[in-house]
Amino acid sequence: MADKIYRVNMNDLTSTIEDVSEAWAGLGGRGLTSTIVAAEVPPTCHPLGKHNKLVFAPGLLTGTIAANSGRLSVGAKSPLSGTIKESNSGGTAAQFFARLGIKALIVEGKPSKDVLYCLHVKKDGVDISEVADLKGKGNFDTINTILAKQEEKKAVISIGPAGEMKMPTANISIKDPEGKIRSAGRGGLGAVMGSKNVKCITIDAAESSTVQIHDPDAFKAAAKVFAKALMDHPVSGQGLPTYGTAVLVNIINEAGALPTKNFTSGQFEGAEKISGETMLELMEVRGGKNRHGCHPGCVIRCSQVYNDANKEYKTSGFEYESIWAMGADCCVDNLDQIAEADMLMDDIGIDSIEIPVAIGVGMEGGLLPFGDGPGILKLLKDEIGKGTPLGRLLGSGAGAVGKAYGVTRVPVVKNQAIPAYDPRAVKGMGITYATTTMGADHTAGYAVTANILNVGGSVDPLKKEGQVELSRNLQIATAAVDTAGLCIFVAFAALDVPEAFAAIVDMLNARFGLSLTGDDVVGLGKAILKTEHEFNLAAGFTNKDDRLPEFFSEEPLPPHNVVWDFTGEEIDAFWDF
Amino acid sequence: MQVTVKLFANFRNNRFNKEVRTIAPDITVGAIVTELAIAREEVGVILINGRHGSLDQTLVEGDTLSLFPLIGGG
CATH assignment at residue A248 = 1.10.569.10
Q: Is A216 helix (H, G, I), strand (E, B) or coil?
A: helix
Eight-state DSSP code of residue A463: S
CA distances from A548 to A42, A258, A416, A433, A555 (A): 27, 17, 11, 8, 13
pLDDT of residue A150: 73
**Residues A451 and A504 reside in one and the same domain:** yes
Total-model pTM? 0.98
Q: What pLDDT shows up at residue A151? A: 65
The CATH number linked to B30 is 3.10.20.30
- Per the CB < 8 Å rule, is B74 touching A321? yes
Q: Give the whole-angstrom CA distance, residue B73 versus residue A420.
A: 11
User: A247 vs B71: CB contact, 8 Å cut-off?
Assistant: yes
Residue A436 lies in a domain: yes
**B66/A254 CB distance under 8 A:** yes
Those residues of chain B whose CB sits closer than 8 Å to some CB in chain A are 6, 8-10, 12, 17, 42, 44-45, 47, 50-52, 66, 68-74
The answer to whether position B38 is within a domain reads: yes
Q: What is the dihedral of CA A93, A47, A546, A470, to 10 degrees?
A: 10
Q: What angle do CA A172, A183, A481 make, to 5 degrees?
A: 110
Indicate whether A213 belongs to any domain.
no
Q: Answer whether residue B74 is part of any domain.
A: no
| Residue A217 placed within a domain | no
Are A172 and A246 in the same domain?
Answer: no
Mind listing the pLDDT tens digit for each residue in A39-72? Answer: 999 999 999 999 999 999 999 999 999 999 999 9
Structural domain boundaries enclosing A72: 4-204
Residues A177 and A38 grouped into a single domain: yes
Provide the strand spans (E) within A248-389: 289-292, 303-307, 313-316
Listed residues A142, A171, A204: the one ending a domain: A204
User: What does the pLDDT read at residue A1?
Assistant: 66
B6 contact residues in A (CB cutoff 8 A): 254
Asked if the Cβ–Cβ distance from B69 to A234 is below 8 Å, we say: yes
Cβ-Cβ contacts under 8 Å for A284 (sequence gap 6 or more): none
Q: So what's the pLDDT on residue A334?
A: 98
Structural element, H or E, at residue A279: helix A276-286
**Residues of chain B neighbouring A247 (CB-CB closer than 8 A):** 9, 71-73
Residue A191 and residue A227 in one domain: no
Mutate to test the interface with A, among B13, B15, B55, B70 (most CBs of A within 10 A): B70
pLDDT along chain A (577 residues), means of 10: 93 98 96 98 98 98 97 98 98 96 98 96 96 97 90 89 98 94 97 98 84 96 98 95 97 98 98 97 94 93 95 95 98 98 98 98 98 98 98 98 98 98 98 98 98 96 98 97 97 94 97 96 97 98 98 98 98 98
Query: What is the side-by-side strand order in the sheet with A125-130?
Result: A125-130, A117-122, A198-204, A154-158, A172-175, A181-184
ipTM: 0.98
Nearest to A242 among B10, B66, B70 (CB): B10
Q: Is the alpha carbon torsion for A476, A253, A406, A192 positive or negative?
A: positive
Do A343 and A440 belong to one domain? yes
Q: A401 and A364 in contact (C-beta within 8 Å)?
A: no
Residue A106 lies in a domain: yes
What range does the domain containing B27 cover? 2-69
Q: How far is B54 from chain A (nearest CA, A)?
A: 12
Of B10, B17, B72, which is closest to A235 when you measure between CB atoms?
B72
Q: What is the DSSP letter of A559?
A: T
Residues A301 and A432 reside in one and the same domain: yes
Residue A123 placed within a domain: yes
Contact A455 B47 (CB under 8 A): no
The rounded distance, in Å, linking the Cα atoms of A87 and A574 is 22
Site from A268, A277, A421 to mutate, B interface, most B CB atoms within 10 angstroms: A277
**Is A239's CB within 8 Å of B52's CB?**
no
State mean pLDDT over B39-60.
Answer: 97
Cα A118 from chain centre: 23
| Whole-number Cα distances in Å, A66 to A243, A294, A487, A516 | 24, 15, 11, 17
Residues A164 and A309 in one domain: no
Judgement on whether residues A186 and A234 belong to the same structural domain of the protein: no
pLDDT at A179: 87
Which residues, in sequence order, are CB contacts of A405 under 8 Å at separation 6+?
A361, A362, A364, A365, A366, A367
Q: What residues in B contact A232, CB-CB < 8 Å?
A: none
Q: How many domains does chain B have?
A: 1
Cβ neighbours of residue A550 under 8 Å, at least 6 residues apart?
Answer: none
**Are A230 and A196 found together in one domain?**
no
Alpha-carbon torsion, ordered A44, A45, A51, A53, to 10 deg:
80
Judgement on whether residues A311 and A418 belong to the same structural domain of the protein: yes
Cβ-Cβ contacts under 8 Å for A404 (sequence gap 6 or more): A365, A393
A262 and A130 part of one domain: no
Same domain, A275 and A141: no
Number of domains composing chain A: 2
